[in-house]
Protein backbone atom coordinates (compact mmCIF):
# COMPACT_ATOMS: atom_id res chain seq x y z
CA UNK A 1 0.00 0.00 0.00
CA UNK A 2 3.05 2.27 0.30
CA UNK A 3 3.11 3.35 -3.36
CA UNK A 4 -0.48 4.52 -3.01
CA UNK A 5 -0.41 6.77 0.01
CA UNK A 6 3.22 6.77 1.12
CA UNK A 7 4.56 4.79 4.08
CA UNK A 8 1.88 3.26 6.31
CA UNK A 9 1.01 5.33 9.34
CA UNK A 10 1.75 4.04 12.83
CA UNK A 11 -1.99 3.57 13.38
CA UNK A 12 -2.37 1.61 10.11
CA UNK A 13 0.54 -0.71 10.91
CA UNK A 14 -0.79 -1.31 14.41
CA UNK A 15 -4.33 -2.01 13.26
CA UNK A 16 -3.05 -4.51 10.74
CA UNK A 17 -0.83 -6.35 13.21
CA UNK A 18 -3.46 -6.41 15.97
CA UNK A 19 -6.06 -7.64 13.51
CA UNK A 20 -3.79 -10.56 12.62
CA UNK A 21 -3.39 -11.38 16.30
CA UNK A 22 -7.14 -11.12 16.96
CA UNK A 23 -8.76 -12.19 13.69
CA UNK A 24 -12.10 -12.97 15.35
CA UNK A 25 -12.64 -9.37 16.47
CA UNK A 26 -10.99 -6.95 14.03
CA UNK A 27 -13.80 -4.44 14.37
CA UNK A 28 -13.40 -4.27 18.13
CA UNK A 29 -9.68 -3.64 17.70
CA UNK A 30 -10.41 -1.06 15.03
CA UNK A 31 -12.92 0.79 17.19
CA UNK A 32 -10.52 0.79 20.13
CA UNK A 33 -7.75 2.24 17.98
CA UNK A 34 -9.68 4.89 16.11
CA UNK A 35 -12.79 5.35 18.19
CA UNK A 36 -15.99 7.13 17.25
CA UNK A 37 -18.72 9.19 18.83
CA UNK A 38 -21.27 6.59 19.92
CA UNK A 39 -24.84 7.22 21.00
CA UNK A 40 -27.57 5.71 23.09
CA UNK A 41 -29.94 3.55 21.09
CA UNK A 42 -32.91 5.43 19.60
CA UNK A 43 -32.30 8.68 21.50
CA UNK A 44 -33.40 11.78 19.58
CA UNK A 45 -31.09 14.74 19.10
CA UNK A 46 -31.87 18.19 17.74
CA UNK A 47 -29.60 18.65 14.73
CA UNK A 48 -30.51 22.20 13.76
CA UNK A 49 -32.94 24.89 14.86
CA UNK A 50 -33.07 26.83 11.59
CA UNK A 51 -35.53 29.35 13.02
CA UNK A 52 -34.60 29.69 16.72
CA UNK A 53 -37.45 29.89 19.19
CA UNK A 54 -40.94 28.96 18.13
CA UNK A 55 -40.39 29.80 14.46
CA UNK A 56 -40.42 26.82 12.11
CA UNK A 57 -37.52 25.89 9.83
CA UNK A 58 -39.73 23.27 8.16
CA UNK A 59 -36.87 21.11 6.81
CA UNK A 60 -38.06 19.06 3.85
CA UNK A 61 -36.95 17.16 0.75
CA UNK A 62 -34.24 15.26 2.65
CA UNK A 63 -31.90 13.37 0.29
CA UNK A 64 -28.76 11.42 1.21
CA UNK A 65 -25.95 11.28 -1.37
CA UNK A 66 -22.32 10.09 -1.34
CA UNK A 67 -22.95 7.91 1.69
CA UNK A 68 -23.38 10.55 4.38
CA UNK A 69 -24.15 13.93 2.78
CA UNK A 70 -27.66 15.14 3.57
CA UNK A 71 -29.08 17.68 1.12
CA UNK A 72 -32.31 19.40 2.09
CA UNK A 73 -34.41 22.55 1.95
CA UNK A 74 -35.11 24.65 5.05
CA UNK A 75 -35.90 28.22 6.13
CA UNK A 76 -34.92 30.48 9.01
CA UNK A 77 -32.75 33.36 10.14
CA UNK A 78 -34.16 35.73 7.53
CA UNK A 79 -33.66 33.13 4.79
CA UNK A 80 -36.58 31.48 3.00
CA UNK A 81 -36.64 27.86 1.84
CA UNK A 82 -33.11 27.35 0.49
CA UNK A 83 -30.66 24.46 -0.06
CA UNK A 84 -28.52 23.18 2.84
CA UNK A 85 -26.02 20.36 3.23
CA UNK A 86 -25.10 18.40 6.34
CA UNK A 87 -22.40 15.78 6.86
CA UNK A 88 -23.39 12.72 8.86
CA UNK A 89 -26.05 14.52 10.86
CA UNK A 90 -23.81 17.47 11.66
CA UNK A 91 -24.76 21.14 11.59
CA UNK A 92 -26.27 22.04 8.19
CA UNK A 93 -24.53 24.63 6.04
CA UNK A 94 -26.47 27.02 3.81
CA UNK A 95 -25.33 26.38 0.25
CA UNK A 96 -26.72 29.60 -1.16
CA UNK A 97 -29.45 32.13 -0.44
CA UNK A 98 -30.68 31.85 -4.02
CA UNK A 99 -33.71 34.08 -3.59
CA UNK A 100 -32.77 36.63 -0.97
CA UNK A 101 -35.19 38.56 1.20
CA UNK A 102 -36.75 35.63 3.01
CA UNK A 103 -38.91 34.59 0.04
CA UNK A 104 -36.98 31.41 -0.72
CA UNK A 105 -36.15 29.57 -3.95
CA UNK A 106 -37.85 26.33 -2.82
CA UNK A 107 -35.22 23.90 -4.16
CA UNK A 108 -36.39 20.44 -5.17
CA UNK A 109 -35.65 17.53 -7.54
CA UNK A 110 -32.24 16.84 -5.91
CA UNK A 111 -30.26 14.25 -7.91
CA UNK A 112 -26.63 13.17 -7.47
CA UNK A 113 -24.62 12.61 -10.64
CA UNK A 114 -20.90 11.98 -10.51
CA UNK A 115 -19.49 14.26 -7.81
CA UNK A 116 -22.23 16.88 -8.27
CA UNK A 117 -25.79 17.35 -7.06
CA UNK A 118 -28.31 18.89 -9.46
CA UNK A 119 -31.60 20.47 -8.42
CA UNK A 120 -34.17 23.01 -9.55
CA UNK A 121 -34.76 26.37 -7.87
CA UNK A 122 -36.47 29.71 -8.51
CA UNK A 123 -34.30 32.77 -7.88
CA UNK A 124 -37.16 35.19 -8.63
CA UNK A 125 -35.31 36.60 -11.62
CA UNK A 126 -35.14 33.85 -14.25
CA UNK A 127 -37.75 31.52 -12.74
CA UNK A 128 -37.33 27.83 -11.91
CA UNK A 129 -34.17 26.63 -13.63
CA UNK A 130 -31.41 24.03 -13.27
CA UNK A 131 -28.85 24.52 -10.49
CA UNK A 132 -25.82 22.49 -9.44
CA UNK A 133 -23.62 22.20 -6.36
CA UNK A 134 -20.42 20.42 -5.43
CA UNK A 135 -21.53 20.55 -1.80
CA UNK A 136 -19.92 23.90 -1.01
CA UNK A 137 -21.40 27.43 -0.98
CA UNK A 138 -18.81 28.58 -3.53
CA UNK A 139 -19.66 25.66 -5.80
CA UNK A 140 -23.43 26.27 -5.86
CA UNK A 141 -24.57 28.04 -9.03
CA UNK A 142 -27.16 28.40 -11.75
CA UNK A 143 -26.33 26.06 -14.61
CA UNK A 144 -28.20 27.88 -17.35
CA UNK A 145 -31.14 30.20 -17.89
CA UNK A 146 -32.81 27.84 -20.36
CA UNK A 147 -35.86 30.03 -20.89
CA UNK A 148 -33.87 33.20 -21.31
CA UNK A 149 -36.69 35.71 -21.69
CA UNK A 150 -38.54 36.82 -18.58
CA UNK A 151 -39.14 35.22 -15.20
CA UNK A 152 -41.26 32.25 -16.26
CA UNK A 153 -38.44 29.73 -15.97
CA UNK A 154 -38.14 26.47 -17.86
CA UNK A 155 -40.09 24.52 -15.22
CA UNK A 156 -37.44 21.86 -14.64
CA UNK A 157 -38.77 18.40 -13.71
CA UNK A 158 -37.75 14.73 -13.64
CA UNK A 159 -33.96 14.96 -13.44
CA UNK A 160 -32.15 11.65 -14.05
CA UNK A 161 -28.43 10.83 -14.06
CA UNK A 162 -26.93 9.29 -17.20
CA UNK A 163 -23.19 8.68 -16.90
CA UNK A 164 -21.69 12.01 -15.80
CA UNK A 165 -24.58 14.05 -17.21
CA UNK A 166 -28.22 14.62 -16.32
CA UNK A 167 -31.23 14.47 -18.60
CA UNK A 168 -34.40 16.27 -17.62
CA UNK A 169 -37.63 17.87 -18.76
CA UNK A 170 -37.49 21.61 -19.47
CA UNK A 171 -39.47 24.17 -21.46
CA UNK A 172 -37.19 26.52 -23.37
CA UNK A 173 -40.14 28.60 -24.54
CA UNK A 174 -39.89 27.62 -28.23
CA UNK A 175 -40.12 23.84 -28.50
CA UNK A 176 -42.30 23.42 -25.42
CA UNK A 177 -41.46 20.93 -22.66
CA UNK A 178 -38.84 18.59 -24.13
CA UNK A 179 -35.85 16.44 -23.15
CA UNK A 180 -32.66 18.34 -22.24
CA UNK A 181 -29.18 17.24 -21.20
CA UNK A 182 -26.47 18.92 -19.10
CA UNK A 183 -22.95 18.24 -17.87
CA UNK A 184 -23.26 21.00 -15.28
CA UNK A 185 -21.86 23.78 -17.47
CA UNK A 186 -23.72 26.46 -19.39
CA UNK A 187 -22.17 25.42 -22.70
CA UNK A 188 -22.88 21.75 -22.01
CA UNK A 189 -26.60 22.27 -21.39
CA UNK A 190 -28.75 21.84 -24.49
CA UNK A 191 -31.96 20.49 -25.96
CA UNK A 192 -31.34 16.79 -26.49
CA UNK A 193 -34.14 16.23 -28.97
CA UNK A 194 -37.29 18.03 -30.10
CA UNK A 195 -39.47 14.93 -29.93
CA UNK A 196 -42.71 16.71 -30.79
CA UNK A 197 -42.27 19.53 -33.27
CA UNK A 198 -44.03 22.76 -32.40
CA UNK A 199 -44.63 24.66 -29.19
CA UNK A 200 -46.68 21.97 -27.45
CA UNK A 201 -43.74 19.70 -26.71
CA UNK A 202 -43.60 15.99 -25.88
CA UNK A 203 -43.67 16.65 -22.10
CA UNK A 204 -41.30 13.82 -21.04
CA UNK A 205 -41.93 12.35 -17.60
CA UNK A 206 -41.05 9.42 -15.32
CA UNK A 207 -37.35 9.47 -16.30
CA UNK A 208 -35.57 6.35 -14.98
CA UNK A 209 -31.99 5.15 -15.56
CA UNK A 210 -31.66 1.55 -16.80
CA UNK A 211 -28.54 -0.22 -18.07
CA UNK A 212 -26.74 2.86 -19.38
CA UNK A 213 -29.85 4.50 -20.77
CA UNK A 214 -32.76 6.56 -19.50
CA UNK A 215 -36.30 5.37 -20.21
CA UNK A 216 -39.23 7.75 -20.03
CA UNK A 217 -42.78 8.51 -21.12
CA UNK A 218 -43.32 11.06 -23.94
CA UNK A 219 -45.87 12.07 -26.58
CA UNK A 220 -44.47 12.70 -30.07
CA UNK A 221 -47.89 13.69 -31.44
CA UNK A 222 -47.90 10.69 -33.80
CA UNK A 223 -47.86 7.53 -31.67
CA UNK A 224 -49.34 9.24 -28.63
CA UNK A 225 -47.75 9.01 -25.18
CA UNK A 226 -45.49 5.96 -25.27
CA UNK A 227 -42.26 4.53 -23.86
CA UNK A 228 -39.06 6.24 -25.07
CA UNK A 229 -35.36 5.83 -24.39
CA UNK A 230 -32.17 7.85 -24.70
CA UNK A 231 -28.47 7.07 -24.52
CA UNK A 232 -27.63 10.77 -24.20
CA UNK A 233 -27.34 11.44 -27.94
CA UNK A 234 -29.87 12.95 -30.32
CA UNK A 235 -29.89 9.92 -32.61
CA UNK A 236 -30.05 7.60 -29.63
CA UNK A 237 -33.21 9.28 -28.34
CA UNK A 238 -36.04 7.29 -29.86
CA UNK A 239 -39.36 5.57 -29.37
CA UNK A 240 -38.69 2.28 -27.61
CA UNK A 241 -42.08 0.73 -28.30
CA UNK A 242 -45.51 1.84 -29.48
CA UNK A 243 -47.40 -0.24 -26.93
CA UNK A 244 -50.84 0.99 -27.98
CA UNK A 245 -50.32 1.18 -31.73
CA UNK A 246 -51.49 4.12 -33.80
CA UNK A 247 -52.41 7.50 -32.36
CA UNK A 248 -53.83 5.93 -29.20
CA UNK A 249 -51.59 6.37 -26.17
CA UNK A 250 -50.57 3.66 -23.73
CA UNK A 251 -49.52 6.40 -21.26
CA UNK A 252 -46.67 4.62 -19.42
CA UNK A 253 -46.55 5.68 -15.77
CA UNK A 254 -45.14 4.73 -12.37
CA UNK A 255 -41.81 3.67 -13.94
CA UNK A 256 -39.70 1.73 -11.41
CA UNK A 257 -36.43 -0.21 -11.72
CA UNK A 258 -36.14 -3.49 -9.83
CA UNK A 259 -33.04 -5.68 -10.18
CA UNK A 260 -32.20 -4.46 -13.68
CA UNK A 261 -35.74 -4.52 -15.07
CA UNK A 262 -38.15 -1.63 -15.57
CA UNK A 263 -41.71 -2.12 -14.32
CA UNK A 264 -44.55 0.26 -15.11
CA UNK A 265 -48.23 0.62 -15.83
CA UNK A 266 -49.48 1.03 -19.42
CA UNK A 267 -52.66 0.68 -21.44
CA UNK A 268 -52.12 -1.50 -24.55
CA UNK A 269 -55.65 -1.03 -25.89
CA UNK A 270 -56.98 -4.55 -25.43
CA UNK A 271 -56.85 -4.15 -21.63
CA UNK A 272 -56.91 -1.33 -19.13
CA UNK A 273 -53.77 0.06 -17.50
CA UNK A 274 -51.85 -3.08 -16.52
CA UNK A 275 -48.40 -4.25 -15.45
CA UNK A 276 -45.60 -4.11 -18.03
CA UNK A 277 -41.88 -4.72 -17.86
CA UNK A 278 -38.92 -3.79 -20.05
CA UNK A 279 -35.25 -4.70 -20.32
CA UNK A 280 -34.63 -1.61 -22.45
CA UNK A 281 -35.32 -3.31 -25.79
CA UNK A 282 -38.44 -3.31 -27.95
CA UNK A 283 -38.69 -7.11 -27.84
CA UNK A 284 -38.20 -7.15 -24.08
CA UNK A 285 -40.99 -4.64 -23.42
CA UNK A 286 -44.03 -6.79 -22.69
CA UNK A 287 -47.26 -7.08 -20.75
CA UNK A 288 -46.53 -9.06 -17.59
CA UNK A 289 -50.08 -9.83 -16.53
CA UNK A 290 -53.62 -8.51 -16.86
CA UNK A 291 -54.44 -8.27 -13.16
CA UNK A 292 -57.90 -6.79 -13.62
CA UNK A 293 -59.77 -8.29 -16.57
CA UNK A 294 -62.81 -6.09 -15.95
CA UNK A 295 -60.95 -2.76 -15.90
CA UNK A 296 -57.58 -1.23 -15.00
CA UNK A 297 -55.39 -2.55 -12.20
CA UNK A 298 -53.36 0.71 -12.11
CA UNK A 299 -50.17 -0.82 -10.62
CA UNK A 300 -48.38 1.64 -8.32
CA UNK A 301 -46.24 2.08 -5.20
CA UNK A 302 -43.61 -0.35 -6.48
CA UNK A 303 -41.23 -1.33 -3.67
CA UNK A 304 -38.16 -3.58 -3.87
CA UNK A 305 -37.68 -5.91 -0.91
CA UNK A 306 -34.75 -8.24 -1.41
CA UNK A 307 -35.47 -10.28 -4.53
CA UNK A 308 -39.21 -9.58 -4.30
CA UNK A 309 -41.15 -6.73 -5.87
CA UNK A 310 -44.26 -5.54 -4.04
CA UNK A 311 -46.86 -3.16 -5.43
CA UNK A 312 -50.46 -2.04 -5.09
CA UNK A 313 -53.04 -2.79 -7.78
CA UNK A 314 -56.80 -2.85 -8.21
CA UNK A 315 -58.61 -6.09 -8.95
CA UNK A 316 -62.22 -6.76 -9.89
CA UNK A 317 -63.32 -6.72 -6.25
CA UNK A 318 -61.05 -4.26 -4.46
CA UNK A 319 -59.14 -1.05 -5.02
CA UNK A 320 -55.79 -1.27 -3.31
CA UNK A 321 -54.71 -4.91 -3.21
CA UNK A 322 -51.13 -5.79 -2.22
CA UNK A 323 -49.33 -7.91 -4.85
CA UNK A 324 -45.92 -9.57 -4.92
CA UNK A 325 -43.69 -10.65 -7.78
CA UNK A 326 -41.06 -13.29 -7.02
CA UNK A 327 -39.61 -16.46 -8.50
CA UNK A 328 -43.06 -18.06 -8.35
CA UNK A 329 -44.75 -15.36 -10.43
CA UNK A 330 -47.22 -12.59 -9.55
CA UNK A 331 -50.03 -12.98 -7.05
CA UNK A 332 -51.97 -11.10 -4.38
CA UNK A 333 -50.24 -11.49 -1.03
CA UNK A 334 -53.55 -12.30 0.64
CA UNK A 335 -56.72 -13.11 -1.27
CA UNK A 336 -59.06 -10.48 0.15
CA UNK A 337 -62.03 -11.74 -1.79
CA UNK A 338 -62.07 -15.02 0.11
CA UNK A 339 -60.53 -14.07 3.43
CA UNK A 340 -61.39 -10.42 3.99
CA UNK A 341 -58.23 -10.07 6.04
CA UNK A 342 -57.42 -6.50 5.09
CA UNK A 343 -58.06 -3.92 2.41
CA UNK A 344 -56.57 -0.71 1.09
CA UNK A 345 -52.88 -1.41 1.60
CA UNK A 346 -50.38 1.42 1.25
CA UNK A 347 -47.29 3.20 2.56
CA UNK A 348 -44.88 0.35 1.77
CA UNK A 349 -41.38 0.06 3.27
CA UNK A 350 -38.85 -2.79 3.25
CA UNK A 351 -36.75 -3.69 6.29
CA UNK A 352 -34.23 -6.51 5.87
CA UNK A 353 -36.40 -8.53 3.50
CA UNK A 354 -39.69 -7.93 5.33
CA UNK A 355 -42.30 -5.58 3.89
CA UNK A 356 -44.12 -3.30 6.33
CA UNK A 357 -47.26 -1.50 5.21
CA UNK A 358 -50.43 0.11 6.49
CA UNK A 359 -53.76 -1.60 5.82
CA UNK A 360 -57.35 -1.66 7.00
CA UNK A 361 -57.93 -4.83 8.98
CA UNK A 362 -61.66 -4.06 9.31
CA UNK A 363 -61.74 -4.97 12.99
CA UNK A 364 -58.53 -3.09 13.71
CA UNK A 365 -58.85 -0.11 11.37
CA UNK A 366 -55.82 1.08 9.40
CA UNK A 367 -52.79 -0.24 11.28
CA UNK A 368 -49.24 -1.53 10.77
CA UNK A 369 -48.87 -4.90 9.01
CA UNK A 370 -45.94 -6.93 7.74
CA UNK A 371 -45.43 -9.69 5.18
CA UNK A 372 -42.75 -11.98 3.80
CA UNK A 373 -44.79 -12.35 0.62
CA UNK A 374 -46.80 -15.36 1.77
CA UNK A 375 -50.33 -15.60 3.13
CA UNK A 376 -49.14 -17.21 6.37
CA UNK A 377 -46.44 -14.58 6.79
CA UNK A 378 -48.83 -11.63 6.45
CA UNK A 379 -49.87 -10.44 9.92
CA UNK A 380 -51.00 -7.41 11.86
CA UNK A 381 -47.98 -6.11 13.78
CA UNK A 382 -49.83 -4.06 16.38
CA UNK A 383 -53.17 -2.32 16.82
CA UNK A 384 -51.95 1.02 18.18
CA UNK A 385 -55.52 2.10 18.97
CA UNK A 386 -57.36 -1.08 20.02
CA UNK A 387 -60.62 -1.56 18.17
CA UNK A 388 -61.77 -0.26 14.81
CA UNK A 389 -60.25 3.23 15.20
CA UNK A 390 -57.27 3.71 12.89
CA UNK A 391 -53.78 4.82 13.87
CA UNK A 392 -53.08 5.35 10.14
CA UNK A 393 -49.30 4.76 9.99
CA UNK A 394 -47.54 6.93 7.40
CA UNK A 395 -43.96 7.94 6.56
CA UNK A 396 -42.84 4.29 6.82
CA UNK A 397 -39.05 4.07 6.50
CA UNK A 398 -37.06 0.84 6.68
CA UNK A 399 -33.84 1.05 8.71
CA UNK A 400 -32.00 -2.25 8.97
CA UNK A 401 -34.48 -4.78 10.35
CA UNK A 402 -36.75 -2.10 11.81
CA UNK A 403 -39.30 0.30 10.44
CA UNK A 404 -39.79 3.85 11.70
CA UNK A 405 -43.07 5.63 11.08
CA UNK A 406 -45.55 8.27 12.16
CA UNK A 407 -48.39 6.72 14.13
CA UNK A 408 -51.38 7.98 16.10
CA UNK A 409 -52.02 6.39 19.50
CA UNK A 410 -55.28 8.29 19.90
CA UNK A 411 -53.58 11.21 21.62
CA UNK A 412 -50.80 12.47 19.35
CA UNK A 413 -49.11 11.65 16.06
CA UNK A 414 -45.66 10.62 17.22
CA UNK A 415 -42.55 8.73 16.10
CA UNK A 416 -42.79 4.95 16.39
CA UNK A 417 -40.39 2.09 15.74
CA UNK A 418 -41.11 -1.59 15.16
CA UNK A 419 -39.00 -4.72 14.83
CA UNK A 420 -42.05 -6.61 13.53
CA UNK A 421 -43.23 -7.84 16.92
CA UNK A 422 -46.03 -6.50 19.09
CA UNK A 423 -43.70 -5.99 22.05
CA UNK A 424 -41.07 -4.37 19.84
CA UNK A 425 -43.48 -1.77 18.43
CA UNK A 426 -43.36 1.33 20.58
CA UNK A 427 -43.35 5.10 20.55
CA UNK A 428 -39.99 6.83 20.96
CA UNK A 429 -38.92 10.46 21.46
CA UNK A 430 -42.16 11.38 23.31
CA UNK A 431 -41.56 15.13 23.12
CA UNK A 432 -41.71 15.07 19.31
CA UNK A 433 -44.82 15.01 17.15
CA UNK A 434 -45.64 15.00 13.43
CA UNK A 435 -42.37 13.35 12.30
CA UNK A 436 -41.93 13.30 8.52
CA UNK A 437 -39.33 13.35 5.75
CA UNK A 438 -37.46 10.41 7.33
CA UNK A 439 -34.12 9.62 5.65
CA UNK A 440 -31.26 7.29 6.56
CA UNK A 441 -27.97 9.14 6.01
CA UNK A 442 -24.61 7.80 7.02
CA UNK A 443 -25.69 5.54 9.86
CA UNK A 444 -28.16 8.03 11.33
CA UNK A 445 -31.88 8.54 10.84
CA UNK A 446 -32.69 12.17 10.03
CA UNK A 447 -36.18 13.65 10.03
CA UNK A 448 -38.24 16.76 10.66
CA UNK A 449 -40.53 16.95 13.69
CA UNK A 450 -42.40 19.39 15.91
CA UNK A 451 -41.53 20.15 19.52
CA UNK A 452 -43.05 22.79 21.78
CA UNK A 453 -39.63 24.38 22.26
CA UNK A 454 -38.46 24.56 18.65
CA UNK A 455 -41.49 24.05 16.37
CA UNK A 456 -40.74 22.08 13.15
CA UNK A 457 -36.97 21.47 12.94
CA UNK A 458 -34.34 18.85 11.99
CA UNK A 459 -33.76 15.90 14.34
CA UNK A 460 -31.63 12.76 14.31
CA UNK A 461 -31.45 9.32 15.88
CA UNK A 462 -27.73 8.56 16.02
CA UNK A 463 -28.07 4.82 16.70
CA UNK A 464 -31.23 3.60 14.95
CA UNK A 465 -30.11 -0.05 14.94
CA UNK A 466 -27.89 -2.20 12.72
CA UNK A 467 -27.88 -0.79 9.18
CA UNK A 468 -26.20 -1.62 5.89
CA UNK A 469 -26.45 0.07 2.51
CA UNK A 470 -24.40 0.58 -0.61
CA UNK A 471 -23.00 3.90 -1.75
CA UNK A 472 -20.86 5.05 -4.65
CA UNK A 473 -20.24 3.16 -7.87
CA UNK A 474 -17.78 0.50 -9.09
CA UNK A 475 -14.80 1.74 -11.10
CA UNK A 476 -13.68 -0.99 -13.47
CA UNK A 477 -14.80 -2.38 -16.83
CA UNK A 478 -15.98 -5.46 -14.91
CA UNK A 479 -17.99 -3.31 -12.43
CA UNK A 480 -16.98 -5.20 -9.27
CA UNK A 481 -19.80 -5.16 -6.73
CA UNK A 482 -19.83 -5.57 -2.98
CA UNK A 483 -22.56 -6.21 -0.39
CA UNK A 484 -22.85 -7.05 3.29
CA UNK A 485 -25.39 -8.42 5.74
CA UNK A 486 -26.59 -6.49 8.78
CA UNK A 487 -23.75 -5.89 11.30
CA UNK A 488 -25.55 -7.08 14.44
CA UNK A 489 -23.38 -7.04 17.55
CA UNK A 490 -22.69 -10.54 18.84
CA UNK A 491 -23.43 -12.11 15.45
CA UNK A 492 -21.34 -13.01 12.41
CA UNK A 493 -21.83 -10.74 9.42
CA UNK A 494 -20.93 -11.57 5.85
CA UNK A 495 -19.23 -9.50 3.17
CA UNK A 496 -19.60 -10.70 -0.41
CA UNK A 497 -18.57 -9.54 -3.85
CA UNK A 498 -18.86 -10.35 -7.52
CA UNK A 499 -17.31 -9.38 -10.87
CA UNK A 500 -13.84 -8.90 -9.40
CA UNK A 501 -11.33 -8.42 -12.25
CA UNK A 502 -9.38 -11.60 -12.94
CA UNK A 503 -5.63 -11.38 -12.51
CA UNK A 504 -6.09 -8.93 -9.64
CA UNK A 505 -5.87 -9.25 -5.86
CA UNK A 506 -8.79 -7.81 -3.92
CA UNK A 507 -8.27 -6.08 -0.59
CA UNK A 508 -11.30 -5.61 1.66
CA UNK A 509 -10.74 -2.29 3.42
CA UNK A 510 -12.49 -0.80 6.44
CA UNK A 511 -12.62 2.79 7.66
CA UNK A 512 -14.68 5.06 9.85
CA UNK A 513 -17.78 6.52 8.18
CA UNK A 514 -17.13 7.89 4.70
CA UNK A 515 -14.30 10.31 4.12
CA UNK A 516 -14.01 12.63 1.19
CA UNK A 517 -13.25 10.47 -1.88
CA UNK A 518 -9.57 10.17 -2.83
CA UNK A 519 -8.44 9.78 -6.43
CA UNK A 520 -6.34 6.62 -6.70
CA UNK A 521 -3.62 5.73 -9.22
CA UNK A 522 -5.51 5.04 -12.43
CA UNK A 523 -8.30 7.53 -11.71
CA UNK A 524 -10.77 5.51 -9.60
CA UNK A 525 -12.14 6.93 -6.35
CA UNK A 526 -11.19 5.50 -2.99
CA UNK A 527 -14.32 5.83 -0.85
CA UNK A 528 -12.42 4.75 2.26
CA UNK A 529 -8.93 5.29 3.64
CA UNK A 530 -7.04 1.99 4.05
CA UNK A 531 -6.89 2.10 7.86
CA UNK A 532 -7.73 -1.58 8.30
CA UNK A 533 -7.38 -4.45 5.85
CA UNK A 534 -9.87 -7.15 6.77
CA UNK A 535 -8.26 -9.53 4.32
CA UNK A 536 -7.50 -10.45 0.72
CA UNK A 537 -10.27 -11.76 -1.54
CA UNK A 538 -10.07 -13.62 -4.87
CA UNK A 539 -11.81 -12.70 -8.13
CA UNK A 540 -14.44 -12.89 -9.43
CA UNK A 541 -16.72 -14.01 -6.55
CA UNK A 542 -15.84 -14.01 -2.89
CA UNK A 543 -17.35 -14.22 0.61
CA UNK A 544 -15.82 -13.24 3.95
CA UNK A 545 -17.32 -13.96 7.36
CA UNK A 546 -16.58 -11.45 10.14
CA UNK A 547 -17.66 -12.18 13.73
CA UNK A 548 -18.70 -9.08 15.65
CA UNK A 549 -18.13 -8.65 19.38
CA UNK A 550 -21.17 -8.60 21.65
CA UNK A 551 -20.23 -5.22 23.03
CA UNK A 552 -23.08 -2.71 23.26
CA UNK A 553 -20.57 0.10 23.73
CA UNK A 554 -20.04 -0.20 19.96
CA UNK A 555 -23.71 0.50 19.27
CA UNK A 556 -23.93 3.27 16.68
CA UNK A 557 -20.35 2.91 15.40
CA UNK A 558 -20.45 3.84 11.72
CA UNK A 559 -17.98 2.16 9.36
CA UNK A 560 -17.40 2.13 5.63
CA UNK A 561 -15.98 -0.71 3.54
CA UNK A 562 -14.74 -0.98 -0.04
CA UNK A 563 -12.80 -3.50 -2.10
CA UNK A 564 -9.71 -2.32 -3.97
CA UNK A 565 -8.49 -4.55 -6.80
CA UNK A 566 -4.75 -4.41 -7.43
CA UNK A 567 -3.11 -5.96 -10.48
CA UNK A 568 -0.65 -8.72 -9.58
CA UNK A 569 2.90 -7.39 -9.94
CA UNK A 570 1.84 -3.74 -10.02
CA UNK A 571 -0.08 -1.25 -7.89
CA UNK A 572 -1.31 0.74 -10.91
CA UNK A 573 -4.09 0.98 -11.76
CA UNK A 574 -6.26 0.33 -8.72
CA UNK A 575 -9.83 -0.68 -9.55
CA UNK A 576 -12.60 -0.35 -6.98
CA UNK A 577 -16.01 -1.68 -6.00
CA UNK A 578 -18.90 0.35 -4.67
CA UNK A 579 -18.76 1.21 -0.98
CA UNK A 580 -20.85 -0.25 1.85
CA UNK A 581 -21.91 1.71 4.93
CA UNK A 582 -22.22 -0.28 8.16
CA UNK A 583 -23.97 0.95 11.28
CA UNK A 584 -23.30 -1.43 14.17
CA UNK A 585 -26.28 -2.20 16.37
CA UNK A 586 -27.90 -4.72 18.66
pLDDT of residue 277: 98
401-433 burial, b if ≥16 CB within 10 A, otherwise e? bbbbbbbbeeeebbbbbbbbeeeebeebbeebb
CB burial string 281-299: b at 16+ within 10 A, e below: eeeebeebbebbeeebbbb
CA–CA distances in Å: residue 457 to residues 41, 72, 101: 21, 12, 21
Residue 385: how many CB atoms within 10 A of its CB? 18
CA terminus-to-terminus distance, the chain: 34
pLDDT for res 567: 87
Low-confidence ranges of the chain (pLDDT < 70): 1-42, 335-344, 514, 571
Radius of gyration of the chain (CA): 25
Nearest partner of 290 among 310, 309, 307, 315, judged by Cα: 315
Residue pair 310/326 in contact by the 8 Å Cβ criterion: no
pLDDT score at 246? 85
Cβ–Cβ < 8 Å for 42, 460: no
Going across the sheet that includes 165-171, the strands are 157-162, 165-171, 177-182, 190-193
24 CB burial (10 A radius; 0-12, 13-18, 19+): exposed
C-alpha closest to that of 405 among 420, 389, 387, 423:
420
Euclidean distance between CA atoms 295 and 315, whole angstroms: 8
- Summarised one tens digit per residue, pLDDT across range 19-76 is 333 343 455 555 555 544 555 556 899 999 999 987 899 999 999 998 899 999 999 9
pLDDT of residue 517: 81
Contact present, 57 and 456 (Cβ < 8 Å): yes
- Give the per-residue pLDDT at 516: 77
DSSP secondary structure string, 482-520?
Answer: EEE---BTTSEEEEEEE-PPTTEEEEEEEEES----EEP
Cα-based distances in Å from 554 to 36, 46, 87, 424, 534: 9, 22, 21, 21, 18
- pLDDT computed for residue 317 by the predictor: 78
Specify the pairing of strand 300-305 against strand 286-289.
Answer: unpaired
d(CA 72, CA 92): 9
DSSP state of 153: B
The H or E element that residue 3 is part of is helix 2-5
Give the predicted TM-score (pTM) of the model: 0.90
Per-residue confidence (pLDDT) for residue 552, from 0 to 100: 85
d(CA 478, CA 563): 13
Whether residue 268 contacts residue 275, with contact meaning beta carbons closer than 8 Å, is answered with no
- The whole-angstrom separation of Cα 432 and Cα 436 is 11
Q: Which residues contact 45 (CB under 8 A, 6 or more apart)?
A: 39, 89, 459, 460, 461, 462
Would you say the C-alpha torsion 427, 89, 29, 23 has a positive or negative sign?
positive
CA angle 463, 466, 467 (to 5 degrees): 100
Question: Taking the mean position of all CA atoms in its chain, how far away is CA 221?
Answer: 34
Amino acid sequence: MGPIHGPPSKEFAMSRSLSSLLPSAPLLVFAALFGASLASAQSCRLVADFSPGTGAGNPNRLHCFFGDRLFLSAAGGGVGQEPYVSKAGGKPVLLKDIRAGGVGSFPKDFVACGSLVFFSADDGKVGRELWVTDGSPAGTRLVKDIRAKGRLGSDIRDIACLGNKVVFRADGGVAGPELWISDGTTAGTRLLKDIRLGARGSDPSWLRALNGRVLFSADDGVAGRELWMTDGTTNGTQLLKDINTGVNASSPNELFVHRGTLFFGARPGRTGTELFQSDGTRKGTVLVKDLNTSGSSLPRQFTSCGTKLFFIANNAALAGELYVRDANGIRPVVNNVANRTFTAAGHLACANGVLFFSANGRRSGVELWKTDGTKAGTVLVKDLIPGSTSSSPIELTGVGSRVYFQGNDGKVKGLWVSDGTTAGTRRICPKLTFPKNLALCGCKLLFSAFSAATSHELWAIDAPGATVRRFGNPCSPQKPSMDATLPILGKTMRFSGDHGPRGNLGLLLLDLAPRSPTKLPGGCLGLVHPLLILGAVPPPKWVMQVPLPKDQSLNGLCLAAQTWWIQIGSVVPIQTSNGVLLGLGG
